[in-house]
C-alpha cells in the first residue's frame, strides 16, 4: 500500500523540542515536494512548511523561525524540527507529498494531494 507515515510525535513540555519524520511506504520521495500541516480539535488545518524536491523551503509566517523542514534524500525522509514549543502547537501533524509544490504552499483539499499521511499527535503541556 502506498502511503506516508509520520512519526516522532508525543508529549513535550512548553519550550521543548520535537523532530517529526515523514516516511514513504511503497514509493520514494525523490520527485515530490513535501508539506507539513497540522490540525487541532475544532480548528481548521494549517499549512506549516514545505520543501521542494531540490530542497527549497517555505514557511508560514506565524511560525517565526521556530520550525525547520528538511529532507534527507539518501534516506528518503523528510523532517520537521520543532523548537520552543507552545501549548497552542498541540495538534495532529500530517505530511503530504505532491509533485506540485504550489498546492502544498497554497493549500488544497486533502484528496487533491498525491499522498497524505494519517498524522502524529503532538501535545505540548506541563
CA–CA distances in Å: residue 3 to residues 15, 39, 56, 111, 123? 32, 19, 23, 13, 24
- The Cα 80–Cα 92 span in angstroms is 13
Q: Can you tell me the mean pLDDT for 97-107?
A: 92
- Grid cell, residue 10, equals 508525543
Q: What is the pLDDT of residues 63-99, one digit of tens each?
A: 989 999 999 999 999 999 999 999 999 999 999 999 9
* Residue 107: band (very low, low, confident or very high) from pLDDT cuts 50, 70, 90: confident
Print burial letters for 88-102: b (CB count within 10 Å at least 16), e (below 16): ebbbbbbbbbbeebe
pLDDT for residue 7: 98
Q: Which of 44, 54, 56, 41 is nearest to 105 (CA)?
A: 56
- The Cα 119–Cα 126 span in angstroms is 22
Q: Which of 23, 7, 19, 12 is nearest to 115 (CA)?
A: 23
Question: Is 8 a residue whose pLDDT tops 90?
Answer: yes
Amino acid at each position: 500500500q502506498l502511503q506516508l507515515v509520520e512519526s516522532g510525535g508525543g508529549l513535550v513540555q512548553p519550550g521543548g523540542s520535537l523532530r517529526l519524520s515523514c516516511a514513504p511506504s511503497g514509493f520514494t520521495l525523490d520527485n515530490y515536494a513535501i508539506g507539513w500541516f497540522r490540525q487541532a480539535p475544532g480548528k481548521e488545518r494549517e499549512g506549516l512548511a514545505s520543501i521542494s524536491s531540490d530542497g527549497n523551503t517555505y514557511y508560514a509566517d506565524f511560525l517565526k523561525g521556530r520550525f525547520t523542514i528538511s529532507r534527507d534524500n539518501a534516506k528518503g525522509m523528510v523532517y520537521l524540527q520543532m523548537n520552543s514549543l507552545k501549548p497552542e502547537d498541540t495538534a495532529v501533524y500530517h505530511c503530504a507529498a505532491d509533485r506540485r509544490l504550489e498546492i502544498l504552499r497554497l493549500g488544497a483539499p486533502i484528496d487533491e494531494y498525491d499522498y497524505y499521511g494519517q498524522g502524529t499527535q503532538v501535545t505540548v503541556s506541563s
